[in-house]
Amino acid sequence: MTPNPYLWVVPILPLAGAAINGFFGRRSSKTAISAVALVFCGAAFAMALFLAASFSAAAAPYYFDLAHWIRSGDFQVDFSFYLDQLSLVMLLVVTGVGFLIHIYSVGYMWDDDGYYRFMSYLNLFMFFMLTLVLAKNYLVMFIGWEGVGLASYLLIGFWFTKDSAAAAGKKAFIVNRIGDFGFLIALFLMIKHFGSLDFTHVFAAAQSLPAETAGAGTLTAIGLLLMVGAAGKSAQIPLYVWLPDAMEGPTPVSALIHAATMVTAGVYMVARSSAIFDRAPMAMMVVAIIGTLTALFAATIGIAQTDIKKVLAYSTVSQLGYMFMACGVGAFSAGIFHLMTHAFFKGLLFLAAGSVIHGVGGEQDMRKMGGLRVYMPWTFATMGIATLAIAGIPPLAGFWSKDEILWKAFNASWVYWLIGVVTAFITSFYMFRLMYMTFGGEYRGAAGQDAHGHVAHGHDDHGKGHGEPHESPWVMLGPLVILAVLSAFGGFVGYGNRFEHFLAPVFQQGAEVAAQGTSPEAVKSIEYLLMGISVGVAGLGWFLAYLLYSRRPQLPARIAASLGGLYQAVSHKYYIDELYAVLFVKPLIDGSTTILWHGIDQGVIDAAVNDSADAARHVSDTARHMQSGNLRSYAGWVAAGAAVVIAYMVWMGVQ
């Protein structure tokens, strides 16, 4: 443990940017706003690079206590920060990708009226995300956790005049609250059993307990509750429903918050708590199962979506499922590796999708795109690289991380591996479907007449005709190119398990578990075989997409028609939203209306107030008749009162 006084500077910088833009942005010029946002975010990135450069494995982990917070008896919580290998990776991903997306946003959001607001929110998000990543205890992490939820809410509902955006923001917020409920209970359990929320303290205490292999105990409960929180934030079954709706936000937001960084917070949290999960195999299994199911489930929904951002949203849910699968089988470093490469290629995919949407004037329906490779070659090239990366074509980034996960999953159980491979096939299929529908063939957007009437999509409008799709400005293409390079070569950090070794000090236990296997030679051959299979299915998915969406574009409609109900179910997202509406939303609203509103609020609280007022009026109504105006009755009351007083005094005197 080495103190490092620079740690707290990293999150404070974007906060300063957010404050300056938030307070003074309304009256500033857009150039000034951009300068503030980029300088503070860039400074955070520079600080992160500085911390990375001065990072030494021998001195790690670094920490810094900024201020006292809670001191209650033996229980202490401080505003303290913590930097080890895991948070360093997250720190670089968050600041790096975040900075690129800030640059991109300058171009994308330039014409929006709420430009200063947007930049301020983005910086605010960076502050909370960095707080989350750099926290030294669960409570500071929780501040960041809630804060990114807030920033997410603000940015999803950024175009709040649009009903669907406002509703999507609320949905995201409420679903996240459900997860946070689990997270909070987990924190309470930790306080109760370990008397602390500090990472080092809690993990040491958890390590001292035996693994709960036989039955479920405290650690299993904590693990499961943490997983509930992670499922909310990282959009896993059953709490994934908010993420696709969150695509109502501006595309840079989708890229930054809902693909690259915030949604991976759950994975980070589970990985951070690896010491707890290590002692709770049952919780680990739940994590793995949820992750695997989510990966497959979301991927199948992605096949039938026509909105370019929705496809990417379900793809994100699916990839997050992979990460949880990795964490669940104990391959935490593989999960974090995939988190990193996913931040590159999925961030890139969203930014490229934003570039496409920008280029065709706010259209998001892929059926009205097509042929865009001619109009926007840079976007096509970069998005192509990202697609190859996510599909797992070697040697791009996604191949390394996904293969790592599949290999670790195979070591745990072949079922995980099989579902993972099927998911990889589907992923490859829907991503190349997206590519062919967007960039292949001929342009299907009705040039001139229809392409401009999409103010409703909330996208920036240039205020002039959108006759032809056009390439985006360089301020947007720059980040695309950088991310494309990272997506292409980012995977090499994992070559020869270097990434795993780098993270090993954080996940000692997980590494031990993963190291237990059969003899190296046999392992190697199996690993290469599995690698070949996963690359093969990726190629197969590509070929199928090529066949259906490039060679024979009529075929998908016929297949969809022949599948009938199944296709309907998939394209309606398995009616999960409708199911939740019937199961949870409607009973909640009905219950609130009949029981809470009419029953308790009106029946008990209002009634108590009104009835006591009525009673008071009745009593005084009776009492006022004493004042009859009849002089002799007054005299009678006076005499009676005097008699009572005298009688009392006499009685007292007798005593």
Partner 1 sequence: MVPLSYYLLLSGILFVCGVLGFLIKRNIITIFMSIELMLNGVNLSFVAFAAHWHALSGQVFVFFVMVVAAAEAAVGLAIIIAVYRTRETLNVDQVNLLKL
Residues binding partner 1 (CB under 8 A): 624, 627-632, 635-636, 639
DSSP 489-522: HGGGGGGGGHHHHHHTTTTHHHHHHHH--S-HHH
Q: Name the minimum Å distance from CB 625 to partner 1.
A: 8
Q: In angstroms, give the least distance from the CB of 635 to partner 1.
A: 5
Residues 162, 429: Cα–Cα separation, whole Å: 33
Q: Give Cα 304 distance to the centre of its chain.
A: 23
DSSP string, 44-96: HHHHHHHHHHT--TTTPSEEEEEEEEEEETTEEEEEEEEE-HHHHHHHHHHHH
Closer CB to partner 1, residue 496 or residue 629? Answer: 629
Q: What count of Cα atoms within 13 Å lies in the side-chain half-sphere of residue 438?
A: 33
Query: Which residue, 374 or 635, has its beta carbon nearer to partner 1?
Result: 635
CB of 631 to partner 1, least distance (A): 4
Give the CA angle between residues 49, 350, 335 to the nearest 5°: 60
Type of residue at 511: A
Is residue 393 within 8 A of residue 292, CB to CB? The reply is no
Q: Find tokens 């009351």 and name the residue.
A: 637
Give dist(CA 294, CA 236) in Å, integer.
6
C-beta of 561 vs 623, nearer to partner 1: 623
Q: Give the helix ranges, DSSP H, for 329-443.
A: 332-359, 372-375, 377-391, 397-412, 414-439
Whose Cβ is closer to partner 1: residue 555's or residue 642's? 642
Dihedral angle, C-alpha 103, 104, 108, 113, nearest 10 °: -30
Question: Could you tell me the two tokens for 69?
Answer: 């917070």
Pick 464 or 624: Cβ nearer partner 1? 624
**In contact, 267 and 213? CB cutoff 8 Å:** no
Q: Is 215 or 653 the residue whose CB approaches partner 1 more closely?
A: 653
Smallest gap, in angstroms, from Cβ of residue 601 to partner 1? 36
Tell me the two tokens of residue 457. Answer: 């999509």
If the CB atoms of residues 467 and 636 are measured against partner 1, the closer one turns out to be 636
Q: How far is the CB of 604 from partner 1 (least distance, A)?
A: 34
- The least CB distance from residue 641 to partner 1, in Å, is 12
Nearest distance in Å: CB 645, partner 1:
14
**Distance separating alpha carbons of residues 426 and 430, to the nearest angstrom:** 6
Distance of closest approach, residue 617 Cβ to partner 1, in angstroms:
13
Residues 348, 483: contact at Cβ < 8 Å? yes
Q: Nearer Cβ to partner 1, position 161 or 620?
A: 620
Q: Which is nearer to partner 1, 508 or 628 (CB)?
A: 628
CB of 600 to partner 1, least distance (A): 38
**Exposure on the CB side of residue 188, measured as CA atoms within 13 A:** 7
